[in-house]
Chains A and B, each alone.
Chain A
Amino acid sequence: MARNNSWQEYQKDIADDKYFYVRSCIRQNFFPGSERVFLNILRNDLGLDVKEEAIHTSCTGIGYHSDIVPLETIMAVVARQFALMTEAGYENFISSCITSFGIYTEILETWHEFPETEERAREDLYKATGRVFNKPKNLAHTSDIIFHHREKIAQKAKFRLINSKTGEPLKVVDHIGCHYAKLFPKKGVGGSEFPYVIAGMVDSWGGDIIDYPERRHCCGFGFRNYLVKANRGSSVANSQKKFESMAPYKPDLIVGNCPGCSMFLDKWQYTIHEIEGVAYGENNRGIPTLTYEEMAGLVLGYNPWDMGMQMHQIDVEPLLDKMGVNYDPAEKYLGVNGEYIGRPEDASINTNCY
C-alpha cells in the first residue's frame, strides 16, 4: 500500500506531440542508430511532429560534471538551446541524454529557486548571441516519450518480449541512470526508488522486469572517474557490482535509459571478461545490452542492423534468436554502400560456446 501511494507521487506530465528534439553527445557517438530509430518511430509509426535542430550544441553537461565548465556558462548554453526551441515555435523540449535531462531539470529548478540566476542567464545569452528564449512548457527525456506512447507501440508490435521457443516472458534488467531521477525524483517516471520508465515499456510489451538488489546503483561512469584513464578502476568496479547483483536472476537482456550507462554496461562486460575471465550471461557469454529505442524498434520489427546493433561489443544475436527476430548475419558488417568492410576482431566474451 505504501509503495502504491509513493508511486502516485512520481507520475509526470508528458506532452502528447510537437516535440523539439536535442541530441546527445554520447548517444550519437555510440548509438547513432538509436537516435534515428527514435525519430522514425515517432514520425513514421506514431505520426508525431518532431523538430530536429541542426545548430544546437552539446549542453556541455559532461564538462560541467567534470567541474571544468562553470555553472554560469552551462546556464547560458542551456538558455541558447531554449532560444532555438522558441525560435522554431515549439514548447515541448525533449532530450536524448540523461546527463542533459538532469542538467535541463536542474537549471530550470535553480532558476525557479534563485530567480537572479535566470536573469543573469538571459543577460549573458543576449550579450553573447542576441537571442532570447521562453522556458519549455514541458520537459521530458526521450524515454518518457516512448513510455508515454508505449501502448500504441504495443498495438503495432511485430514481436513481443517473449522467448519464442518457450513462450516465457524475457527477463529484463533496467538501468534508468542516476541523473534521470536522483536529482529531482518527481521529474522522473517512478522517481529514483520505483523506476518505471523502462519497466512500463517492458510490462506493455510482454517482458518481466527484474527488481535486483543493485538496480539503483550507479553504472560507475562518474565523469572524471571514467574520462581520466588513471581513474577507470572505479568505473568498472561499480558496473561489476551491478553485474554480480543481476547475474543470479539470469537476465535475457539489459536495457539502459542513459546512453552512457548503456555503453558502459555493454563495454565493461568485455573488459571484465578480458581481465578476470568472468561473464555474467548464459553460456559464459555477455548479457546483451540495449537502448530503449532498440528495444522498441525490435518490438516494432525494425532490422537490428538498421538500428546499429552491430555497434555493440556484446553480441545481440542470442537475444534476437530468443525473440524470433529474423536477421541476415551477412548484413551485420556492411558499410553505407552495402560493401563488406571487414569485421571486428573476435572477443572471447562473444565466442564462448553455447
Chain B
Amino acid sequence: MGKYYDLLMNDVRMVEGLKACINCGICTGVCPSAQFYKYDPRRIVDIVQSKDDDAIEELLKGDTIWYCGECMSCRPRCPRGNTPGYVIQALRLISQKLGFFVESEKGRQQLALKRVVGESIINVGYCLYPKLVDPEMHPEQGPVWKWIYDNDTKIYPKFSPNYLKEGVGAVRKINQDSLDELKRIFDVTGGTEFFEMIEDYSEKKAIEMGYDSADDSYFNDIYNYNSGNHQ
C-alpha cells in the first residue's frame, strides 16, 4: 500500500500540487476537459491521496489521466491550494516510466507526441515550424494556411530577415552549435533516455498488438484513431 504514492511524491509537482483535497469538486467544475470527456479531476486526486496501489495502477494504465489539457484552470480555484493538473503531470511521468501508458488508447499517443514535437525540438530547436503543420494532417487550419504552406518562401521573408537562415528573426535557422548544446542538455538531464523509453515501450506494444513495428500503420493509428469511448 502506497508504493505508487511514494513514487509520485518524489516529484516536486506533487509536493506543490497535492496537500489535502476536501473533494469539493470545484476543479471539475472549471475543467475544460471535464466538460468534454468522461473526466473528473476531483476523483483522480481523491484516488491518489487514498494511496491505494490497485486504484492508482488502474489510473496509470487507463485513458483517464490523458484527458487533461494542462490548462491549469484548476490551480487558482482550489480552496486548499491543490493543483490537480500537477498531479496529472506526475501520474503521466510515472505511467511512462513504468511502461503503463501503452495500455490505453490515449496513453499510446505519447509516441506521436514524441515523434512530432520531440523530434522537432531536437532537429530544428523549435516545437513546431511551418513545414511541420502539413495541411493534410491539419485540415482544420483552412485554406489560408495551405496558401502560406505552399508559398512559405515568398511569405515569411516579408516578416523575417532570416527565414530558415542563421541570424535573428522569425523562423530563423538555429545554428548547429546551439542544436548540439540542446541535444547535450537532453542527454545530461534524461530527456534523450525518456524519448528512447517511449520508443521502446511503444515498439513492444505495437508488436504485441500485431503490427510489424511502431512505425507507419501503428503511428498513423494512434495519431488518427478515436474509439469514441471517451465522452
Contacts and interface: CB of A to CB of B under 8 A. Distances in A.
A313 B159 contact: no
B217 interface: no
A342 B147 contact: yes
A178 B71 contact: yes
Contacts of A241: 32, 35
B125 A58 contact: yes
Given A76-B189, A218-B69, A57 B145 contact: no
Contact of B170 (A28, A68, A339, A345): A28
Interface stretch (B18-26, B54-62, B115-123, B203-211): B115-123
Q: Which of B71, B92, B141, B224 has the most CB of A within 10 A?
A: B71
A110 to B, nearest CB: 6
Nearest to B156: A32
Nearest to A230: B226
Nearest to B12: A114
B198 interface: yes
Contact of A25 (B96, B109, B127, B191): B127
**Nearest 3 CB-CB pairings of A with B:** A222-B69, A335-B154, A73-B191
Contacts, number: 267
A61 B156 CA distance: 24
B9 interface: no
Nearest to A192: B76
A54 interface: yes
A233 B227 CA distance: 13
Interface string B5-39: 00000011101100000000000000011011100
A128 B184 contact: yes
Contacts of A117: 12
Interface in A122-141: 124-125, 127-129
B92 to A, nearest CB: 4
Interface of A: 23, 25-26, 28-29, 32-33, 35-36, 52-58, 60-63, 65-73, 75-77, 80, 102, 110, 113-114, 117, 124-125, 127-129, 178-179, 181-183, 185, 191-193, 216-218, 220-225, 227-234, 236-238, 241, 267-268, 270-271, 306, 308, 310-313, 335-337, 339, 341-347
Contact of B118 (A63, A125, A237): A63
A342 B147 CA distance: 8
B1 interface: no
A351 to B, nearest CB: 11
Q: Which of A229, A233, A337, A343 has the most CB of B within 10 A?
A: A229
A53 B166 CA distance: 11
B189 A224 contact: no
Q: Which of B92, B110, B181 has the most CB of A within 10 A?
A: B181
A32 B13 contact: no
Q: Which of B32, B37, B121 has the most CB of A within 10 A?
A: B32
Contact of A36 (B92, B133, B160): B160
A341 B179 CA distance: 34
B226 to A, nearest CB: 4
Interface string B150-182: 010011111110000011111110110111011
Contacts of B69: 218, 220-225, 234
B170 A54 contact: no
A237 B36 CA distance: 7
Contacts of A25: 126-129
Contacts of A62: 117, 127-128
Contact of B121 (A63, A270, A306): A63
A238 B13 contact: no
B140 A267 contact: yes
A33 B112 CA distance: 30
Nearest to B186: A73
A58 to B, nearest CB: 5
A329 B12 CA distance: 54
B194 interface: yes
Contacts of A236: 140
B170 A36 contact: yes
A68 B33 CA distance: 20
Nearest to A102: B72
A182 B140 contact: no
A270 B172 contact: no
Given A32-B159, A55-B175, A344-B146, A129 B185 contact: yes
Contacts of A58: 121, 125-127
B72 A238 contact: no
B224 A230 contact: yes
Contacts of A347: 142-144
Contact of A313 (B92, B144, B169, B171): B144
